[in-house]
Amino acid sequence: MTQDKAALEDYYDTATAVARKWSRDADVVGVVALGGVARRTFDQYSDIDLAVFVSSAKTSKIKAGEYTYGGFPLDVLLFRYPQAFEREWDDIQREAFSNALVLADKSRRLARLIKKKTKLTRGEVRQRIASRIMHLAWLGIYNRRLARQQSEAYAWEFPADLLAIRGEPMGAHAEGVNRTV
């Protein structure tokens, strides 16, 4: 991933300017950066991912979708506040908000609410670690000692490019990678 600090600052500054401008709207409760701006990383495919929390659907200035602002690509998601925090979040939303960066917050509660919604239980942490270890194994990256210890439960000899051969990450799992030897 190419890291150009000046370009990264331009992305961050643009996200901050958009948040400042949009937070003037009476119906906007807050603006949160997600993705590369929040993680402070980007590449040539990056856009500025913004979650905008609104108190009502009345706001006519801000719409969900993809836009360009000052030459920068924006991807805008709208959420009703506080309803967005009253329902369950799926793993995709929890992961997207796990590195969220609050740029504007009239409620003074968004950071705390996001942290509460993205907090993982011990079991979820273990499951994510196990899932990522298995993903690395599918890529052909694994610990030989662990492979010897687990040789009866997992077939570690699959080719390193199995995912590419099958055309998708989930294909490796669905096609029996987790079979016994």
* pLDDT tens-digit map of 19-48: 999 999 999 999 999 999 999 887 778 899
The pLDDT, as a whole number, for residue 155 is: 53
The pLDDT, as a whole number, for residue 175 is: 40
> In the chain, which residues have pLDDT < 70?
1-3, 59-60, 138-140, 142-181
Is the distance from CB of 177 to CB of 138 less than 8 angstroms? yes
CB atoms within 10 A of CB 33: 25
**Domains of the chain, CATH where assigned:** 5-118 (3.30.460.10), 122-174 (no CATH)
Which one-letter DSSP state was computed for residue 96? H
CB atoms within 10 A of CB 112: 13
Backbone angles phi, psi at 69, to 5 degrees: -135, 115
Distance separating alpha carbons of residues 133 and 130, to the nearest angstrom: 5
Nearest of 119, 117, 150, 120 to residue 133 by alpha carbon: 150
Give the number of residues written for the chain. Answer: 181
Residues ≥6 apart with Cβ < 8 Å to 50: 15, 18, 19, 31, 32, 33, 34, 74, 75, 76, 77, 103
Q: 120 by DSSP, 3-state: which? A: coil
The pLDDT, as a whole number, for residue 5 is: 82
